[in-house]
Chains A and B, each alone.
Chain A
Amino acid sequence: MSAFIWLTIITALRILSRNRMRAGLTMLGIVIGVAAVIAMVSIGEGAKKAVQAQIATMGTNVIIIWPGATTMSGVRGAQGGAITLTVSDALDLKKRIPLLSDTGWAKREVMQIVNGNRNWNTSINGISPSYLTIRDWSFASGGPFTQSDMDSAARVALLGQTIVDNLFDPGEEPVGAVIRIKNVPFRVIGVLAAKGQSAQGSDQDDVVFIPFSTAERKVFGTLFLGSIGAMFASTDRTEDLPEAVEQIREVLRARHRLQPEQSDDFTVKTQVDIGKVQEGTSQTLTVMLFSIASVSLLVGGIGIMNILLVSVTERTREIGVRMAVGAKRRHIVMQFLIEAMTLSLLGGALGIVLGIVGAKLTTVIAGWPTIISSDVIVIAFFFSLAVGLFFGLYPANKASRLNPIEALRYE
């Protein structure tokens, strides 16, 4: 760095330290703007990461198929109300579509379960054994039921962590215990590892899994045997998902004998679709953040411009002297630009520190996850530099255009 720039930076810092109050107030706009952006982006990134983790808990490359709505005398019911999907649909899909690595199904009802003198109302899920692998459930203790449990409609149950917390004493081993669902005794053979909240915010661990056959024959009292609540499928590769969805629609439409003009009597969604909804939300958030950032940086920049204009006026004589001893226009421009950038960079640096502290505090106090990305820090840094440069240009240019004779005579 040339001696001139170095000296100018030192001079700028000295001038700022002499007018600490003024410099501080001037920087405040930038400090607040940058701090707000850093904190908000960190919180946003943390939330995004958490949502992604939640979506990942659904399983890997999962496709979910719900039955369509019922129509009674022209009144359409809620989605999933119809009983158009069946176990044979699921089996047929697996047979006909090689892209699908597996299909599974489930049907659920909210019921009371009892262990000794405690009870709890929760969703009882009758599932195919494949459901557990598709949805990536793992076990804290015990293990899954098997196809033979399915065939014999065995009275065995898998409990989610929330169920264990509510029906068992701490430290009590649930595996091997007998609980009752709708007065039917079930032997607990496995406890599922906790998954936490779903992307929609529901507690994924508040579940009981029992074999599908047991559920429809011994617990739910289903009218049409083989009708299912939801169907699940998975592919080996993420990029196969759209193609798999297309093929599923074709097969199901054919099986359900739908005419071309009829709409689907089912809904197919992939994990990717669900992720996209969340992405859209976070994009809206990002746009909002950037508008807030722009406004506060604009305000901060105007503050810097204002104080520099004051400074140019106050130091008119100094500018005259500098010109008299040989400063060229560009030297004067540089001097004031460097002062502006020193201000804005200091403000930016303070803002970055404040923003990081704010994000950490949010994690500590509110318990929200935050991720401080180095990207946003670098961007904030260059943004504050740019603000200094942009808003310093006018005062610097004004200073450099002073007539040295008049500047020297300025009182």
Chain B
Amino acid sequence: MSTLIQCDGIWKIYRIGDVEVNALRGLSLTIEQGEFVAIMGASGSGKSTLMNILGCLDQPTRGHYRLNGLEVDKLRPDQLADIRNQQIGFVFQNFNLIARTSALENVQLPLFYRALSLKEQRTRAAGALERVGLSGREHHFSTQLSGGQQQRVAIARALITNPSLLLADEPTGNLDTQSSREIMMILDRLNREGITVILVTHEADIAAYARREIQIQDGQVLSDRATTTRSQSVGV
């Protein structure tokens, strides 16, 4: 297995007025391809900042971040956009589907920014929806879908580009227990199919689906351990 993510001494310093906030303080982290990692931490621990940097939405103030061997911290905004488009899939807590737009078109969105024919885009979007079990709901608007279904549309959107990394930020935060379980099962399945999944959560039972758990505190890694039992027992 090759290394997917390598963070070396990452600092992220925000300036709010005259006050400097150190969101990350020299954090180092390595994640191999195919891992299922849960990042946990209290609010203010810096896990969201880490998430943004891992997702190439933000860049570290200091330190190095390599994604798939590429030095992300040196890239320009347009290159970051390309990486997000090609290598990363996002799943958000509040789904972030585009309102009054069909499921199919929501899934299609990342392909908007690629030179692909409309037909190819639609075919691939339909395929991605099928992977999350939403065949037949291509033309439903998000208001016509349950929370769990909306999140599955979001996962399909993240999948459509065949990313090497799936970043899920509190993916079950707005869902009931049953839907949460379904979503986690899907993430687990995708991980077994080879996609690296990084999950940010503060719920221990959700984190338990992952096979590795990293605790963040004060912008540094507090603990990093493998979780063994749960995923195997719940997985299939």
Instruction: Known pairs A322-B109, A326-B82, A327-B112; list 12 more (Cβ under 8 Å).
Output: A3-B121, A6-B118, A7-B112, A317-B96, A320-B96, A323-B57, A323-B84, A326-B110, A326-B161, A328-B77, A405-B57, A405-B58
- Are A329 and B77 in contact, CB atoms less than 8 angstroms apart? yes
Could you name 5 residue pairs across A and B whose Cβ atoms are closer than 8 Å? A4-B113, A7-B112, A321-B97, A328-B77, A328-B82
- Are B84 and A325 in contact, CB atoms less than 8 angstroms apart? yes
Q: Which of B50-108 contact A (CB under 8 A)?
A: 52, 55, 57-58, 77-78, 81-82, 84-86, 90, 92, 96-100
- Are A321 and B96 in contact, CB atoms less than 8 angstroms apart? yes
- Are A329 and B85 in contact, CB atoms less than 8 angstroms apart? no
In the complex, number of A-B residue pairs with CB atoms less than 8 Å apart: 68
- The CA of A320 and the CA of B94, in the complex, are separated in Å by 13
Q: Does A324 contact B (CB under 8 A)?
A: yes
- The CA of A326 and the CA of B114, in the complex, are separated in Å by 9
Chain A interface, DSSP helix/strand/loop, else mixed: helix
- By Cβ-Cβ distance, the 7 closest A-B pairs, closest first, are A326-B85, A325-B110, A328-B81, A326-B113, A321-B96, A328-B78, A326-B84
- Are A324 and B90 in contact, CB atoms less than 8 angstroms apart? yes
Residues of A in contact with B, size category: 20 to 34
Q: Closest approach, in angstroms, between the C-beta of A48 and any C-beta of chain B?
A: 49
Best-surrounded residue of B110, B113, B114 (most CB of chain A within 10 A): B113
Residues of B within 8 A of A323 (CB): 57, 81, 84
Q: Does A331 contact B (CB under 8 A)?
A: yes
- The CA of A385 and the CA of B170, in the complex, are separated in Å by 44
Q: Does B157 contact A (CB under 8 A)?
A: yes
Mark contacts of A1-28 with chain B using CB atoms, 8 A cut-off: 1 yes-contact digit, 0 otherwise: 0111011100000000010000000000
Mark contacts of B157-175 with chain A using CB atoms, 8 A cut-off: 1 yes-contact digit, 0 otherwise: 1000100000000000000
- The CA of A318 and the CA of B100, in the complex, are separated in Å by 11
Q: Closest approach, in angstroms, between the C-beta of B83 and any C-beta of chain A?
A: 8
Q: Does A408 contact B (CB under 8 A)?
A: yes
Mark contacts of A313-345 with chain B using CB atoms, 8 A cut-off: 1 yes-contact digit, 0 otherwise: 000011011111111110100000000000000
A interface list, Cβ under 8 A from B: 2-4, 6-8, 18, 317-318, 320-329, 331, 404-405, 408
Best-surrounded residue of A2, A3, A318, A404 (most CB of chain B within 10 A): A3
Q: Does B117 contact A (CB under 8 A)?
A: yes
Best-surrounded residue of A18, A323, A325 (most CB of chain B within 10 A): A325
- Are A324 and B118 in contact, CB atoms less than 8 angstroms apart? no
- Are B81 and A326 in contact, CB atoms less than 8 angstroms apart? yes
- The CA of A324 and the CA of B78, in the complex, are separated in Å by 12
- The CA of A8 and the CA of B113, in the complex, are separated in Å by 11
- The CA of A322 and the CA of B90, in the complex, are separated in Å by 11
From known contacts A7-B112, A329-B77, infer whether A324 and B55 are also in contact, taking CB-CB under 8 Å: yes
- Are A18 and B113 in contact, CB atoms less than 8 angstroms apart? no
Residue of B with least CB distance to A321: B96
- The CA of A4 and the CA of B117, in the complex, are separated in Å by 9
- Are B118 and A7 in contact, CB atoms less than 8 angstroms apart? yes
Residues of A within 8 A of B236 (CB): none
Residues of A within 8 A of B113 (CB): 4, 325-328, 331
| Cβ-defined partner of A4 (8 Å) among B57, B96, B100, B112 | B112
Residues of A within 8 A of B96 (CB): 317, 320-321, 324, 408
- The CA of A34 and the CA of B218, in the complex, are separated in Å by 61
- The CA of A3 and the CA of B117, in the complex, are separated in Å by 6
Residue of A with least CB distance to B55: A324
Q: Closest approach, in angstroms, between the C-beta of A329 and any C-beta of chain B?
A: 7
Residues of B within 8 A of A6 (CB): 118
Residues of B within 8 A of A7 (CB): 112, 118
- The CA of A331 and the CA of B55, in the complex, are separated in Å by 20
- The CA of A3 and the CA of B125, in the complex, are separated in Å by 15
Q: Closest approach, in angstroms, between the C-beta of A24 and any C-beta of chain B?
A: 19
Residue of B with least CB distance to A325: B110
Residues of B within 8 A of A326 (CB): 81-82, 84-86, 110, 113-114, 161
